[in-house]
Structure formats: C-alpha cells, structure tokens
Amino acid sequence: MNRYKESPSQTAGPYVHIGCTPNFLGIDGIFPEDLGTTIITGNPEGERITIKGSVFDGTGNPLKDALIEIWQADPSGKFAGRGGVEGFTGWGRSPGDMDTGEFTFETLKPGRVPFTDGRLQAPHVTFWIVARGINLGLHTRMYFADEETANAEDPILTRIEHQSRIPTLMAVKEGDHYRFDIRLQGEGETIFFDI
C-alpha cells in the first residue's frame, strides 16, 4: 500500500470567514446558512448550557479573527453518527463577535465517553482553534470545573505532569453560562494537545 505524507497545514488567515461563515460576513445568497451555527436542532433531553469565551494572544489582546469549532458527545456520552440522540449535532462553529471576539455556543452538557482502555473520561468538549498567525489548528479540551469527581479520574487530566496547568482547561460557571477563555501564550497559557 502506498504511503503518503499528510498535507501540511497552513494558517486559515484573516479571511477564514469568507469560506466558513460567509453569511456572518454579509456574503449572502451562496449558502442558506452558516454551518455549525445551530448545535441543538431538535428537542433532545439533557441540560442546556451556554459556553462563552475569548481567545487571547501573548499580549493579552482578544483575537477578533479566530474561528472556533467544538465537537462533543451528547448527554449520554454518544456522538452524532455513532448512536447519538436525535436533534443534536455535537458540532458547532463560531466566528466570534466581530467587535469583541467573544464566541458563544448553545449546546448540551456532554456525558462521559470511554477512553481507549475503557475507563470513563470526564465530561469534556473538544475545541479546535484556527486564525491568522496560527499555522496548525490548535486542539484543546474544555472540562467542567464543577465535575470534580469525574475530573479527578479522567485519563487525560491525570497523566498531565504539570498539574498546576490543569485549571486552564476548566470552564467555570458564571451566571447563566460557562466561561472558557483560551490563552495562546504566556501567563495562564492553555494546555494544547498533540492528539
């Protein structure tokens, strides 16, 4: 069997929204709606949550040109296309607010998903971040600070050597939403994964 090298990544650039969320930019009439805008498409059971956050660069400035995608299990720990509940795609895409860069996802709180060895992972949402200046999309995970018991036995969290960095993966409940800020560089730098 032939072996090929993966196509090398390149930055999504400052105009990623033309291709991925054209309606957000006002490029109307090509696609009926931007993909990933709606994650809950029906009336699935489960806890409805809102995730908000911003992506900050090494100077503390929020990015206003990032594209954030999330992928997660449904409340029973099943993924769309693999037995997941009706009316829930598990996949969201946000360009962030044009002025502040803050992203928002209306979704369901995920259930626990088995790890490769069968142990249960703590509830988490996978994030993928691309933007101008980011050469290869960054993978991270959002966990829930209020899931202390599950977090304490999560197979990924427990094997991280520098436990002092784990709070960077924790979403904290603030009023009616969970806040998950992502810091690309410097103080409080978010943990990114090579998965």
List the interface residues with another protein, window 128-157 (CB under 8 A): 128, 130-139, 141, 156
124 versus 175: smaller Cβ distance to another protein? 124
* Interface characters, 49-68, with another protein (x: CB under 8 A): --------xxx-x-x-x---
Site string for another protein, 2-41 (x = CB under 8 A): xxxxxxxxxxxxxxxxxxx-x--xxx-xxxx--xx-----
Quick check: 114 and 102 in contact, CB under 8 A?
Answer: no
C-alpha distance across the termini of the chain, in Å: 24
| 87 lines the binding site for another protein (CB under 8 A) | no
The conformation of residue 63, written as its DSSP 8-state character, comes to: P
- Do 66 and 131 meet the contact criterion of CB atoms below 8 Å apart? yes
Out of 37, 79, 145, 177, name the contact with another protein by CB under 8 A.
Answer: 79
- Exposed e or buried b for every residue in 148-177, given b needs 16+ CB within 10 A? eebbeebebbeeeeeeeeeebbbbeeeeeb
Q: In the complex with another protein, which residue's Cβ is closer, 138 or 170?
A: 138
Residue 43 lies near another protein (rule: CB under 8 A): no
